[in-house]
Structure formats: structure tokens, C-alpha cells
Structure 1
Amino acid sequence: MFGIIYENVSTPGPLGVLLVVSILLAITRIIRIFTQAQDKKPLKNHQIDHEIEPLLDFDFRKTDPIKYQPYKTQGHVTMGIQKRVRSDWIRIDRGYLNRIRERLPLIKEKPEFTIGTGEKVNPAIEELYEEIMIRYLPARFPTMFKAGGKTVKNLATGTTYPLSTAGLTHAEMLAYMGENVEEDFYFMCPDPDGQYRLQGYIACFPGGFLSPARVGESVREIHKPVPGYERKLGLSVDRYFGRMQPGDFIGRMNWSLQVDGADLFRTDGNNYYPGMDGAFSGEKEDPSLDECYLRVEHQTLTKLPRSGAVIFTVRSYMTSLHQVKAEGDGKALAEAIESMPEGLGHYKMRQYWGNKILPWLTEDVQINDANKHDK
């Protein structure tokens, strides 16, 4: 996941509710509707619609994934982030149900890898639940998430979740998020020295990132294995996090090759780290082309207003290299891989699979298909 900001990438505290005398009780209730109080009352729809553009005719079954070809446009090791809008925070398309089905057993059977809570991050988890599950989803996708009474119904899956954090554990909040959206969320919380450290997550689709082992690490510590990060980006990224304001949305794409299957849950194996020599079998050097995929992460960052946590939101896409090549992008992908600086190429594991995959990507599609036919 945390290949972020590596290639070309594109607070106030909680609002308190005043305690007033009994004759002003009605006024207090109105105030609570317009605050983010700690009493965990449900938030009303009319409070949130003005911030989010509703997709009134949305049908996820007819919605194509976004176009993503970062290998055509991105250079390497720069901070060229791009602005995003709140409405595009969460994306849903025709692959939604398949990927939710892939997430469910991971949440239930591997919570030690997929769910991370703790005293330092729990206020931010509660805040994100309010932002995503209560405010965002019913407002952005009203044909899919129907709020009524004390719950929201997901019409695509037939499940419901609470329209309030009252009575929920923080692990349950993360689980509900993971069961209803495809995005993973990583919570970078400020410490007393102003460093942002990973303190929690809902991470069903980590791209070679073992989340539990990284809890407590700063942005720089997480990126330590990434060639060139400290020298080119470390200080500027730290400063950028400090300057971010609630409401800012920025994003970029991260991409790599995954040459041993399409499963999205990967805690290792997609990136090279020191000491890994000899850790892989021959399948990395001689992969089956049918098992080779382009893995793209659409990543956004935003800062929560109450907790001040920076949220990394990661949405993963997998595309067969056969499809990439059939669409005429094989040569462009090969050129992007070959143009990587030596350190970056090594980090992306080019030294293992490059000798087989790169020549194949540059072959003409028609010639390759003809050869298949002759066999």
C-alpha cells in the first residue's frame, strides 16, 4: 500500500454540545443536529447533502471502473500530487459485489491482519465511520444506501449497518466499513512531536504491506526501504502532512506488477526488501503469463477535522497483462518498467520477472496470437 507519494503522484477538536436549562431543551436538540457531538447521535441527511454530489440514477452494475493507465503518465520519485474532490472519495463500479465477497472472509477470518484499533486511533476511527458510513454513502449513492430509522440498508448486498456509533466497538466500526466499500483506510495520527504515525487500519487488500508490523511507524520509517524516498521526498512529505487542512483531498496512482495470481490480499511478495534474496521460488523468475497482473492503487489523502488524523484511502484494481497487451498498452507498460531508475526497478522486483515479461509485452499482439494458433 505505502508505495504512496513515491512515483509521480498527482483542528479543531470535537464540537461540544452546550448544557442548557430544561426550558431550552428543544434548542439543544437542534444544536446537536448541526454538531459532531460526542453523544453519538445519528446525523441527519439534510446536514450532509450540500457537500456531496448525489448520483441520483446510479446503477453500479452498469458503471465501468475509472480509466487508470499511470504507467503512461507518471514519472518516478516526485511529489506531483493532484487535487481530488470529496464526491470522488469512494468509487463503486460493476465489480463491486465480487470484491466485497473477497473482503468478507478476510475481515472475519484474518482480523489480526485486516483490522487495527488502539487507544491512539480510536477517536479517528469513530470520526471516519461518521464521515463515510453516516454522511457519505447515503448522500453520494442514494439509490444504493438507504437510510431509515436507526440503520442504513445496502441494497446491493441486502445487509444493514447502524446509523450511529453508539454501542459499537471500534473493531466493529472498521468491519462495517470494510464490508460496504472496497477502499482500505490507513490512519496516520499526529504524535506530540508532529510526526504522523500509522496507528490503525482496515486493510483487506494490502499490496505487499504487513500492516500490524508497521503500527507506530512514521511516514519516513514506513518508506525507509523505498529507494530515494528519504533523499528526495522525506522532508517535503512531512511538511505537506503538517500543512494539510480538513477538507483537502489529494490523490495519485501507484502501480506494480503482481506475477503470481490475482488475489488482492498480499502482506508480502510484491516489493523487494533487504534480505529477501533467495526467498522466492522460480515462479518469480519464470511466471506463468496467465498469472501476471497489473496492480494499480488509486490513493487519496485527507485530514479529519476533529482528530487531525490523515487518512490514506486505497482502492485497488487488478488487470491481466493479457488484457493490457490486447488493448495495445503492452509496449507502453514495458517502456515504463524499463525506464525505472535501477533502485526503483529493483524495489519493484524487475530483476526477477523482467527477462520474461518485458520481451513478451513488446511483441506484436497479432504475431503472438498467430503463434498461439500454430501451436
Structure 2
Amino acid sequence: MIEAIYDTFSTSGSVWVLLLAPLFLALRYVLRAFNKPQHGKHFEKQDIEQEIEPLEIFDFRKEAPIKYQPYKTQGHVTMGIQKRTRSEWIRMDRGYLDRINERLPLIRGKPEFTIGTGEKVNPAIEELYEEIMIKHLPARFPTMFKARGKTVKNLATGTTYPLTTAGITHAQMLAYMGENVEEDFYFMCPDHDGQYRLQGYIACFPGGFLSPARVGESVREIHKPVPGYERKLGLSVDRYFGRMIPGDFIGRMNWSLQVDGADLFRTDGNNYYPGTEQVVSEYKEDPSLDECYLRVEHQTLTKLPRTSAVIFTVRSYMTPLHQVKAEGDGKELAAAIQSMPEGLGYYKMRQYWGRKVLPWLMEDI
């Protein structure tokens, strides 16, 4: 059942399918398990004010990235939804400075693509700034972020930002977030009829969608081109957003292959959209193996307590396929790609790069 549904979704032309639809499919699959009474056990919803565990002797320069090999642990059908804690919301590792340096020119030079504000989302932007910049970073990473008077100093970059939202614009709040953490944030805000709509974002590393074009759309409108979404998922997703309790954090990982370089800012994407005027370059059929990467997104959903905005958080990782193969995972990755349902493989452009990349991954080191 779930395989068939996933295959249907993967053939859609909706650019948000890569991000939201897989997560919602997973939610549908596990909602009953999460909400079902557990005999002999007692589970309490966590308040968003739950204590943040401080990393007192943390050195980001020595911290390895989390293990992000979803092709080994969850495949494409079992979505790997897991509960997260508030402490795990933001991650730091030895790639931090490189990623921040990649984000800065995007925030400052392409704000029309990376920063989204507006009357309907501004209260949620202010609330998220308080949660991330004022509460979370100094508490979780005291060796990196030090509160000094009315500002916080980022000891890794040498920059400072305000310890208050007073006197700064909402665009500046988003810019400060984008300049200090690697995560991107998308704001799904409830409207008068209870539907959640994309109203704002700080999106330096979009994985193949143009955020400004989607502002104001509901989850259902975003997925309108998706066959079967309204019938199979629309109502369930709307209800789930409405039932989310602040302090609940759920996450999963999504992955794809990027065969034309390591840049994370992608509005064109790595996916094929049938029925559109998309032109696929010949390079996709004969990519340089030196330009092929595994792109993984760690995705998290949570709800803010004051505005009830649902925050979709995305942290992106890139790994050269040469490294994947050198670590002995080439055959396992190839098997995962080959096992994709036909529609999903088509959506991921397997029909183009697969003829060259798959045999190479299968070769012995």
C-alpha cells in the first residue's frame, strides 16, 4: 500500500514533493502508532520550554557530522520518522564555518530568493528568533555563543547579533538566523479557516524549488498537482498540523543524487517534472564522477507555542560519491537506488545519470 502511494507522489510535477510530501506520507504511516494508547506506558507531551542540554566542553572544529546514510537505515519506502528533542533542533560540526561562508553571499546578494517576510508571518519570525537566537544557541552551545549585555557574540565567526527583537526588522531577524546556523526554516502559518500556508522562510539551500513562488499557498494548494494527494493525505495532514503540540519534534532524512557540482543553492533541482517545459541537459546523462554528490536533508517539524506556526527545518549535507564508494558503501547506495519504485526513480532522474553512475558504484574498490 505505502509503496503504491509513494510511487504515485513521486511522479508529480510539484516542486515541494521532495520536501513535504515524503514527510507527510511518513506521518500518515506512523500517526496511529504515535497517537495510539500504549498499555503499561505513559508518554507526556514535551513543552517547548523543556530544558536545553548545554554542551559545556563542545568544540565544533572537532565534531564530526551526524551519521547521515539514510539509504542504509531507512530506504525510500520506510520513511524513518523519529522523535527528536529540543536539544537536537540545531546541529554544529566541523563544517560549520565553510557552510556559513557559503550562506553569507546568498543572504546578502540574493535576498529575493533567500528571505521571505510578510504581515502574516512576521509574528512567527519574531517568535522563532527568540527561540533560536536568544534562548537556544547560548544555552546549547555556550562555547560558541556568549551573551554580553544586549548582544550575543558568535565566538566562531567573531560577529554579534541582538539579544532582543526590538529595533530590528523581520528581514534582519531572518538574516541573523541564516548567518549563524546552517539550518533553513520554512514557516507554515495557520489562517482563519485553520489551513496552514507557507508565509515566510530563510532558505539559503533550497533543494530544487523557488520559495517566493509558493508563498501564500496552503499545503493542499502546494500539492494540488499531486495525483491522489487530496483523497489520501489532504485531510490527514491538515488535522495533524492542527493537533501538533509545541515541544513535539519529529524528523527524518531525505536524499538524492546531485550530479553537477556541490553547490547547495538550487532552484532548478535534481528532479524530473513530467508535463512541464523542463529541459534536461546532456550532462545529466554523462556526468563527471568528480561532480557527483549524495545530497541528504535532515528535516524536522515542530510548532511554536505563541503563534502556532509550524516550522519546517531543513539541514543539508553533501558527500562526494567518491567518498561514499571509498568508505565501502557504493554497492549499498546503488542497491537503494535500484530498489526505488519506478516513478520515484524517474522523478530522481535515475533514467539519465543511472546508466553511468550505477555500474561505477557497483564496481569493487
TM over 0.5: yes
Q: Tell me what 1:330 maps to.
A: 330
Q: Deviations over 1:78-131 (max 9, x none)?
A: 665210000000000000000000000000000000000001100000000000
Gap regions ≥5 residues in structure 2: 1-15, 28-47
Q: Matched residues in 2 for 1:200 and 1:141: separation? A: 26
Where does the alignment leave 5 or more consecutive residues of structure 1 unmatched?
A: 11-47, 366-375
The aligned amino acid for 1:329 is D
Alignment match, 1:170: 170
Instruction: Tell whether 2:299 aligns with 1:291.
Output: no
Structure-2 change in CA distance of 1:82 and 1:230 (3 Å): farther
Shift of 1:355: 1.1
Amino acid of the structure 2 residue aligned with 1:55: L
Please say if residues 78 and 232 of structure 1, whose CA atoms lie closer than 8 Å, have aligned partners that are also in contact: no
After TM superposition, list the pairs within 5 Å mapping 1:261-280 onto structure 2: 261-276=261-276, 279-280=279-280
Q: Which range moves more in the overlay, 219-228 or 88-97?
A: 219-228
Does residue 190 of the first structure (1) align with residue 175 of the second (2)? no
Query: Structure 1 residues 265, 122: CA separation in 2 closer, same or farther (over 3 Å shift)?
Result: same
Question: Is residue 147 of structure 2 the alignment partner of residue 131 of structure 1?
Answer: no
One-letter amino acid of the structure 1 residue matched with residue 100 of structure 2: I
Q: 8 Å contact 1:54–1:141 — kept in the other structure?
A: yes
Q: Deviations over 1:229-282 (max 9, x none)?
A: 556544332222121001110000011111100000001131222344661221
Return the TM-score normalized by structure 1. Answer: 0.83
Aligned to 2:159: 159
Which residue of the partner structure matches residue 348 of structure 2? Answer: 348
Q: Structure 1 residues 362, 230: closer, same or farther in 2, change over 3 A?
A: farther
Question: SS of the counterpart of 1:283?
Answer: helix
Contact 1:246–1:305 (8 Å) recurs in 2: yes
Please give the secondary structure, in 2, of the residue aligned with 1:261: coil
Residue 3 of structure 1 is matched in structure 2 by 19
| More displaced 10-residue stretch of structure 1: 345-354 or 72-81 | 72-81
Give the fraction of aligned pairs with identical amino acids, expressed as a percent: 85
Deviations 1:149-201 (A, max 9, x none): 00000000000000000011000000000000000000000112221111000
Across the aligned residues of Structure 1 and Structure 2, the Cα RMSD in angstroms comes to: 2.0
- Aligned to 1:280, the other structure's residue is in SS state coil
Q: After alignment, is 188-197 or 139-148 more displaced?
A: 188-197
Q: CA deviation at 1:73?
A: 2.3
Aligned residue for 1:310? Answer: 310
Of 128-137 and 69-78, more deviation after overlay is shown by: 69-78
User: Following TM superposition, by how much is the alpha carbon of 1:4 offset from its aligned partner in structure 2, in angstroms?
Assistant: 3.4
Q: CA deviation at 1:5?
A: 5.0
Report the number of matched residues: 328
- CA distance 1:79–1:233, shift in 2 (3 Å): farther
Structure 1 segments (4+ residues) deviating >4 Å:
7-10, 77-80, 224-232
Counting only pairs closer than 5 Å after superposition, residues 31-180 of structure 1 correspond to structure 2 as: 51-76=51-76, 81-180=81-180
Letter aligned with residue 193 of structure 1: D
- The one-letter code sitting in structure 2 at the alignment partner of 1:353 is W
How far apart, CA to CA, are the structure 1 residues paired with 2:307 and 2:260?
39
CA change 1:347–1:221 in 2 (3 A) is farther
